[in-house]
Structure 1
Amino acid sequence: MSLKTVFEFIRPAHEVPKTIWSSDTPLTLRPKPITFLFLVMGLWIFGTGEAIIIASGIGVSPWTVLAQGIGQQTGFTVGESTFIVSVMVLFMWIPLRETPGIGTILNAILIAMAIDVMAPFLPEPTEIGPQVVQTIIGILLVGIGSGFYLTANLGPGPRDGWMTGIQQRSGWPIGRVRIGIEVVVLSFGIILGGTFGIGTVLFAIGIGPAVAMCLGIAGRWSE
C-alpha cells in the first residue's frame, strides 16, 4: 500500500457519509442488527475514550468544563449541570430540524456506563509525557466512536446532533463545525468558573479533525 493510498484512506469527511450499516431513517424502532451493533460499539468506544481522557489527569473535555462552570454558579452537581446542558442543546435542534432517535437516548446511557465500567482499569499517569499520550489516545477513540455511531444514523446525541445540524444547514466542513462548537463551549465554561488544563486544549483542537478523519474512514471502509 502506497503512502498516497494511506493518505487518501484517512482523508477527512466534510459530512456524515452513508455506509452499508447506516439506517435509512433515524426514527426506526427496529434497526438492522448490524446498524444497532455499530451504534452500541461506537457509543462504548466513545465512552471509553472519555474515560481515558479523564484518567490522564490533565484536563477534561470542553462540555465537562461548561458543566463544572454551571455547577459553580448554581450549586448543581456536574451531573445535574450536564443534564441541563443536554436539554438546552436539544432545544437548539428545533430551528435546525434535527430528529432524535434510539441513538439519542442510548448516547446518554451507554457513554456514561462505559466511563464507569472502564475507569477502574485505566492507568493514571503522573508524568506529563504519558499524560499527553493518553489524552491523545482518548481523543482518537472518541473520534472512532463518533465515526461508528453517527454513521449508524439512529439519531445523534444532543451535542453531535447540534453539530451535524449546523453542518447540514451551513455547508461548512464538519471538522470546522466541531472545532468551533468546542472552542465556544470551552470559553463559556471558563468564564463561568469551570476548570481546564492541557488535555482540554488538546481535545478542543483535536476532536474536530479526529471525528472528520474517522467519518471519512468509515465511509470508505464500507464501500
Structure 2
Amino acid sequence: MRKVLLWRWAFYLVGMLVLSLGISMTIKGQRLGIGPWDVLHVGLFKNFGLSIGTWSVLTGCIIVISTAVVLREWPKIGTWLNMVLVGAFIDLFNWMIPDMTAIWAQMIIFAGGIIVQGIGVGIYICPNIGAGPRDSLMLVLVQKTGASVKKIRTTIEVCVAIIGWLFGGPIGFGTALIALFLGQVVHYTLPQCRKLLVKIIHEENERLLY
C-alpha cells in the first residue's frame, strides 16, 4: 500500500514538473501565439482588470466548484495543489530557460512544448491523485459524454480560445496548434502512462489507483 502511494505521488509531482516545462517552452515561443486558456485570461484582464495570474486562479476555482457540483464530490487534494504548484514551476522554468530571439528557435521550442505538455498531463493524471481544474473539466466531460479525450480536449481548447478572443485576447498560429494538437497528444499519453504505473506497482494493486 505504501509503495503504491509513493509511486502515485512520484508520478503526480513529476507530471506537474513536465507539464510546467511544456507550458514554459510554449511561452518562450510566444511570437507564434499563446495557449487558449491564456488567451481567455488576457482577455478578462483587458476588460475587467486584476492580473492575468489572478484570472487564472479565479477561472480555476470556478471550474473546480462546477465539476464538484456535477460529480457531487469534493475535489481531491491534488487538484488544489495543481493550482498552486504548476504556477510556481512555470515561474521556475521561465527563469531557467533562456529567451529565444530567432523565429526558427521559437518554432522548435513551441512545437516541443506542445508535446511535452501532453506527456506531462498524461503522467500527472494517471495516478488519480487529482487533475488540475482544466483537466478535471476534460475528464468530467469525457465521463458524461463518452467521447474521446482528444475530441473533448480539442473542443474545450477551441471554445476557450474563441471566448478569449471575443474578450480581446490575442490569438496566433500557435494558439490554433495548441487547441488542435494538445488533446491529440494527451489521448495517447494518458493510457500509456497508466499502463506504465500499473506495471511498476504490479497489476494486483491496479484497483488501488481508481
- In 1, the alpha carbon distance for the partners of 2:92 and 2:10 equals 19
Q: In structure 1, how many angstroms separate the alpha carbons of the residues matched to 2:121 and 2:72?
A: 21
Q: Which amino acid is the alignment partner of residue 44 of structure 2?
A: I
Corresponding residue to 2:12 among 39, 46, 51: 39
Q: 1:79 aligns with which of 47, 53, 61?
A: 53
Q: Indicate whether 1:117 and 2:92 are aligned.
A: yes
1:159 aligned residue: 134
- The correspondence for 2:38, drawn from 41, 64, 70, is 64
Q: Residue 112 of structure 1 aligns to a residue in which SS?
A: helix
Residues in 1 aligned to 2:106 and 2:28: alpha-carbon distance in whole angstroms: 9
| Alignment size in residue pairs | 196
Aligned mates of 2:97, 2:173 — CA distance in 1: 19
Q: In structure 2, give the amino acid aligned to 1:91.
A: I
Q: Deviations over 1:118-145 (max 9, x none)?
A: 1122133233332222111111111111
Of 186, 194, 197, the match for 1:211? 186
Residues 1:184 and 2:159 are matched in the alignment: yes
Alpha-carbon distance in 2 for matches of 1:206, 1:115: 21
Q: How does 1:47-62 map to 2 (within 5 A)?
A: 47-58=20-31, 59-62=33-36
Q: Deviations over 1:95-130 (max 9, x none)?
A: 244641121022112211111111122133233332
Q: What secondary structure sits across from 1:60 in the alignment? A: coil
Q: Which piece of structure 1 moves more, 49-58 or 122-131? A: 122-131
Are 1:95 and 2:70 an aligned pair? yes
Deviation at 1:148, TM superposition (A): 0.9
The answer as to whether partners of 2:12 and 2:124 remain within 8 angstroms in 1 is yes
Secondary structure at the counterpart of residue 104 of structure 1? helix
Report the aligned-residue RMSD: 2.0
Aligned to 1:139: 114
- Residue 46 of structure 1 aligns to which amino acid in structure 2? L
CA distance in 2, matches of 1:191, 1:151: 34
TM-score, structure 1 as length reference: 0.82
> Percent of aligned pairs with the same residue?
31
Q: How far apart, CA to CA, are the structure 2 residues paired with 1:198 and 1:131?
A: 13
Structure 1 runs not aligned, ≥5 long: 1-20, 24-31
SS at match of 1:152: coil
Distance in 2 (alpha carbons) for counterparts of 1:124 and 1:79: 21
Find the residue that maps to 1:92 and give its secondary structure: helix
The structure with the largest helix share of the pair is 2
Give the Å deviation of 1:86: 1.1
* 8 Å contact kept, 1:96–1:169: no
* Structure 2 unaligned spans of 5+: 200-210
